[in-house]
Amino acid sequence: MSERVVVTGVGTLSAFGVGLDNLWQAVLEGRTGIGLIQRFDASEYKCQLGAEFVDFDPSDRIDPKLSKRADRFAQFALYAADIALAESGLEITDDNRARIGVVIGSGIGGMETWENQFERLLKRGPDRVSPFFVPMMIIDMGSGLVSMETGAMGPNMAVVTACASGAHAMAVAVDLIKTGRACAIITGGAEAGITRCALGGFSSAGAVSFRNDDPEHACRPFDRDRDGFVMGEGATIMIVEGLDHALERGAPIVAEIIGIGMSGDAYHITEPSPDGGGAALAIQAALDDAGLSASDIDYINAHAPGTPAGDASEAKSLVAVLGDHIAEVPISSTKPIHGHMLGATGPTELAVCFEAMHHNVIPHTLNCDNPDVDPRLDLVRGEPRQAPVRTVMCNSFGFGGHNVVLIARQFEQ
């Protein structure tokens, strides 16, 4: 039997600043981090909205010399990883460094660096492009820099599956531990995608909300008036370990990851399969991996970004798998609070699920005033719900038809 895998540390950066506590407080209060973009002039864009981490100061935990050579997304990864390691108490030494790995996902990586250097190329010529351009831009540099800064020399890689990147990174990390290739992994997702080109592209594609006059109500998962997602930014990095390794060193155990399901839609570059068939495969696979039935799940954090096609497809996938139990499992989306953090979304929402387990409080979906999906879904709306939460499911789906579902539960010896 493969080893059990537990989470021993969590570091989160979001529109609410540093720390999971700040994000969880916003969840409890139903307070959104979405507003008009401040980091650049977005007045000419169809969408001017984002959930930005406006006052991020990496110097608290990252050497300023390193920060200058790291894209914003990599800075997020480094900062969140440092928090997670501190919470976990995991010390990386010469004796264990070969058995500790890094697997971090990002959907679009160093987009800001790419934009800035391309602008320099056009204005000042090729000789003025920074020699750090490519190392700063490439997505694997998030995991690469974390490895360099921590000394972790085990499996080291990046995962890129659009909005499912961070959740897929965690799935890979769990499998690496279960197969004995590592005893601990620094894993999760980091994203700094609120940039000029990314915003322009998503706007042209009609994927984002255009409610610039009402940011607070722009993101509307499962609601009939939804018109697109709203980008967020930040990171959530976790320390996952084999249970024996964590117990041996007396680590604080946050939760246990017990099920993983992955699938592909094989349908479209941006749209999910309308019948939810691909996502349903991942949901069922996660339940099978965990050895659970639908009735064992106490809460589902849906991917539900607030897009017309995405929400409808996910609702159908949940009905297909949960069947008669669909009315008994509370479901919500927290994206109206922290925004759609692209590759960092999955780990961030899983971290919110951990808080739901610890406090026995189920987050509610903001702005879901008139649900237009199957009425049997138990959508938590209006305010958080007090209820026992022992086992949670967290869905992440990405452009290209990439689906990953994680199931976690409260740890019991």
Q: Which residues are catalytically annotated?
A: 163, 303, 340
* Token code pair at residue 390: 């022992």
Alpha helices (runs of H) in 30-163, residue ranges in sequence order: 64-67, 72-88, 111-124, 133-137, 141-150
Q: Is 222 exposed, middle or buried (0-12, 13-18, 19+ CB in 10 A)?
A: buried
Q: Is 391 helix (H, G, I), strand (E, B) or coil?
A: strand
Distance CA 73, CA 189 (A): 9
- Hey, which residues does 230 pair with through a beta bridge? none
Distance CA 339, CA 354 (A): 18
The CA-based angle 351-352-353, given to 5 degrees, is 90
Give the CA count within 13 Å in the CB-facing half-sphere of 269.
2
Distance CA 76, CA 328 (A): 37
- Hey, which residues does 185 pair with through a beta bridge? 101, 240
Distance CA 107, CA 162 (A): 4
* Token code pair at residue 342: 């692209």
